Amino acid sequence: MLQFEILEHPADIGFRAFGASEAELFENAALALLSIGWELEGIEPLEQYPLSASASDLELLLVNWLNEVLYLTDGKRIAVRQCRVNAINSTHVSGLALGEPRDPDRHRARIVVKAVTYHQLKAARTPAGWLADVYLDI
């Protein structure tokens, strides 16, 4: 199954993430965010970093989850290779980010992502699985 695809936008950048389950959707959305911001090939998943988010609905939960991933990479300076969801329900998600402390010589940035936005945000179950459209402020 396709994990994600990049969406065109005049000012920002977006992605459409896919998943067979809500957990896989959140993992693939995190992967899309990470792939836009960083060259992932040089990042080793040596350490585990806890992630969690809460919200009143699935779409807000996805934004909060992605903002936690962004805070880990930007605020805590962790190079994240992938994220795993351990538990998810309609108002809470928890999991782990796998990566290592960021080394500017080894971990190359692609695009500076400032924030995950609510612009044209969509997360829903479809006949083929789960789908989310997310736009990022760059």
- Model pTM? 0.91
Per residue in 71-94, pLDDT (tens digit) is 999 999 999 999 999 999 999 999
- Distance between terminal CA atoms of the chain? 28
Domain boundaries, the chain: 11-137
Work out the number of other CB atoms within 10 angstroms of the CB of residue 85: 20
User: 90 is written with which tokens?
Assistant: 């309609």
Per residue in 2-37, pLDDT (tens digit) is 788 777 666 688 999 999 999 999 999 999 999 999
Three-class secondary structure of residue 7 per DSSP: strand
> Which CATH code fits 11-137?
3.55.10.10
Three-class secondary structure of residue 48 per DSSP: strand
Percentage of the chain modeled with pLDDT above 70 = 96
